[in-house]
């Protein structure tokens, strides 16, 4: 079983590239049973989609993206 930290990391990684086939079932099972991580997944996917709409116009520096990722991960753990 994945920990919440592992699951949120996989969710984040899955936004940038396709996850390996053997990691997907464990993530799905975790998201099914963990409301906090499922909520994190929904929010981060929405943010990713929203930012992709204006990707051509604005690109956050890598340090800012990392701070955002850490803040979202921490917020999901505090719920």
What would the pLDDT profile of 5-61 be if each residue is shown by its tens digit? 999 999 999 988 899 999 999 999 999 999 999 999 999 998 888 776 655 566 778
Q: Is 7:34 a contact under the CB 8 Å cutoff? A: yes
In whole angstroms, give the CA distance from residue 76 to residue 39: 8
Q: What is the predicted pLDDT for the residue at 58?
A: 64
> Please, what is the Cα angle at 24 between 35 and 5, to 5 degrees?
50
In whole angstroms, give the CA distance from residue 37 to residue 76: 6
- Tokens 């116009």 sit on residue: 57
Domain coverage including residue 15: 4-78
In whole angstroms, give the CA distance from residue 33 to residue 52: 29
Number of domains in the chain: 1
């Amino acid at each position: 079983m994945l920990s919440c930290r592992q699951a949120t990391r996989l969710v984040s990684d899955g936004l940038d590239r396709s996850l390996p086939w053997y990691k997907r079932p464990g993530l799905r099972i975790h998201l099914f049973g963990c409301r906090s991580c499922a909520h994190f997944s929904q929010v981060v996917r929405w943010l990713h989609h929203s930012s992709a709409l204006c990707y051509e116009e604005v690109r956050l520096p890598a340090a800012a993206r990392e701070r955002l990722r850490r803040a979202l991960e921490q917020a999901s753990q505090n719920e």
